Amino acid sequence: MIVTSALPYVYSIPHLGNFVGSVLPADVYSKYLKMKGDDVIFICGSDQHGTPIELAAVKKGIEPEQLANEMHETVKKLFEKYECTFTYYGKTHTQENREVTYNVFNELYNNGYILEREDMQAYCNVDKRYLTDRFIQGTCPYCKKRSARGDQCDNCGRLLEPTQIIEPFCAICGKSDIKFLKTKNLALELNKLEGNVKEFIKKNSKHEWSKDAINKSLSMIKEELKPRDITRNMKWGFPVPLAGYENSVVYVWFDAVLGYIGITQEWDARRWRDYWQNEHTQLVQFLGKDNTIFHTIMWPAMLIGSKLGFVLPYTIKESQFLVSKKLKFSKSQGVGLNMKSALEFLGPDYWRFALMYMYPENADSEFTQESLVEVVNTVLNDKIGNLAQRVLKLAKSNKELINKDIKVSGEERISKILDKYRDSFDKLQLKKAVGAVVELADLGNEIMSKKEPWILAKKAKENVAHAKEFTEIFDSLIAITYSLAIALYPFTPKASKELLRYFSIKSEPTLKLLSDPVNLDFSAEPKPLFQKMTNKDEKLRKYE
């Protein structure tokens, strides 16, 4: 299996909405698959081409490649801090991805799916330069929101042509002094591949695709697909491998999606074919709703049209947006609540859990200071962390009463919740998987509250019946704590490993451990797993 996330565009540090929309759920899911023992690679990397990087480099007085590589290293280290465990995190500006891009380009051209056409490209009279699609903005002709770029509307997700934009303006200078000039470009004839793409969607969308991804894609096909430019008149990118286009480069979206294959080849020059050209491989892709059409229509069309035998997406897991009315989720480097600034006041495990708890799986989800504090303090600390510490402390102080042969499989209520946990992951319902973890903690807290084992422990020395009841109760409580330690791993890997040490497990957890006898280590002194947020909301205010 191949798991991918939409490649982060590294002209800036990803904000929290970017993170939870693609990379984080992909990492959570791939961790679960590894716990299952599946043969899976998690491939991701930096999307490095495009005008934003070229312009940012010009302002800094350096070459685009230097800036792209510097930002790649910065973002890569950030993902490592957030405990993301990619099989390989690469980048798109590599020789491997160039080879893949040219190979697919040439095959599409030879197979008759690339045409030459004249376009009207925006030109800014103020900046004296052509504007690629991202740098012409205005009002969307469909949803009427002022959130349209020359290639796509950020609000409704519709693909656009620059000439469709209402009241267009230059995103560089902000002026409307632009004109459209004729230019020559190469385009992918999506219309010729429309039937193939429609058949692909109807067949593969049965594999746990997000409903919005299906509806959006079929709706676009219903309106008939049109040729889509795959070249642009600019300098930064892969030069077009065709005579007459020496001043053009391959359009960034084209080589970005092929980056999944190029990055895998960069990872292992021999084994990459075992995954990408194996008909039994399942390709699961995580992305935000603004990236859907590129992955459900254009990317499959490229693969089908090339006839190179690459696997098509098996599952498209689309997320909606994490939004905030008060806090800034800025894409500008060093500004706003992005992945870097978020770590200034809260650790990676806290963010991973909180963001997945609020995961905008099927609808936009609002992020607020209040919701963050509620998840951290009430759910993560009070329900999960406090339960684990109380159980371990009581077990340590009453170790003579603890059963030496505890098994999770013998606890029916726990087994049912763990079945729900597995089933949710297998159906890619990640928010339900988080819910199953919380349900485990709720069960433990319910037993604690109703049975009051600390009172039974005091009476156990004088009463055999109380001692027996304490032992039976703690069979369940220890089994729950042990199960929590394992089930938490995809969401809070650091805390999971810390909790597993109390059970003499130092390696990364597997689901198989749930079938093994529980081996509680009484020598370790239980410490708090999490802490509450105290006065940290003050640090959030600067992002309002």
Is 167 a domain residue? Answer: no
Does 459 share its domain with 498?
yes
- Written as one letter, the residue type at 432 is K
pLDDT in tens, 179-236: 998 889 999 999 999 999 999 999 999 999 999 999 999 999 999 999 999 998 888 9
- Which helix (H) or strand (E) covers residue 262, if one does? helix 259-267
pLDDT in tens, 393-434: 999 999 999 988 898 987 899 999 999 999 999 999 999 999
| Domain final residue pick, 307, 342, 377 | 342
426-432: list long-range contacts, CB under 8 Å, 24+ apart: 427/208, 428/29, 428/208, 428/284, 428/315, 428/317, 429/361, 430/25, 430/28, 430/29, 430/356, 430/359, 430/361, 431/356, 431/357, 431/359, 431/361
Does 404 share its domain with 301?
no
Does 322 share its domain with 446?
no
Does 207 share its domain with 299?
yes
Q: What is the domain range of residue 496?
A: 368-515
pTM of the model: 0.92
pLDDT value for 104? 98
C-alpha–C-alpha distance, residues 538 and 542, integer Å: 8
pLDDT value for 335? 56
Number of domains in the chain: 2
User: In angstroms, how far is CA 351 from the centroid of its own chain?
Assistant: 13
C-alpha–C-alpha distance, residues 233 and 132, integer Å: 8
Is 311 a domain residue? Answer: yes
Is 169 a domain residue? Answer: no
Is 477 a domain residue? Answer: yes
Is 145 a domain residue? Answer: no
Angle between helices 24-36 and 430-451 (to 10 degrees): 70
Q: Give the CATH number of the domain where residue 100 resides.
A: 3.40.50.620
Half-sphere exposure of 267 (CA within 13 A, CB side): 22
Does 275 share its domain with 384?
no
Q: Give the CATH number of the domain where residue 382 resides.
A: 1.10.730.10
Is 177 a domain residue? Answer: no
Does 75 share its domain with 222?
yes
Does 336 share its domain with 392?
no
Does 285 share its domain with 393?
no
Q: How many Cβ atoms sit within 10 Å of the Cβ of residue 344?
A: 10
Does 103 share its domain with 35?
yes
pLDDT value for 334? 47
Does 195 share its domain with 321?
yes
pLDDT in tens, 23-46: 999 999 999 999 999 999 999 999
Is 79 a domain residue? Answer: yes
Does 434 share its domain with 378?
yes
Give the chain's residues under pLDDT 50: 333-334
Are 513 and 497 spatial neighbours (Cβ–Cβ below 8 Å)? Answer: no
Is 155 a domain residue? Answer: no
Does 455 share its domain with 310?
no
* Percent with pLDDT over 90 in the chain: 79
pLDDT value for 329? 73
pLDDT value for 535? 63
User: In angstroms, how far is CA 201 from the centroid of its own chain?
Assistant: 22
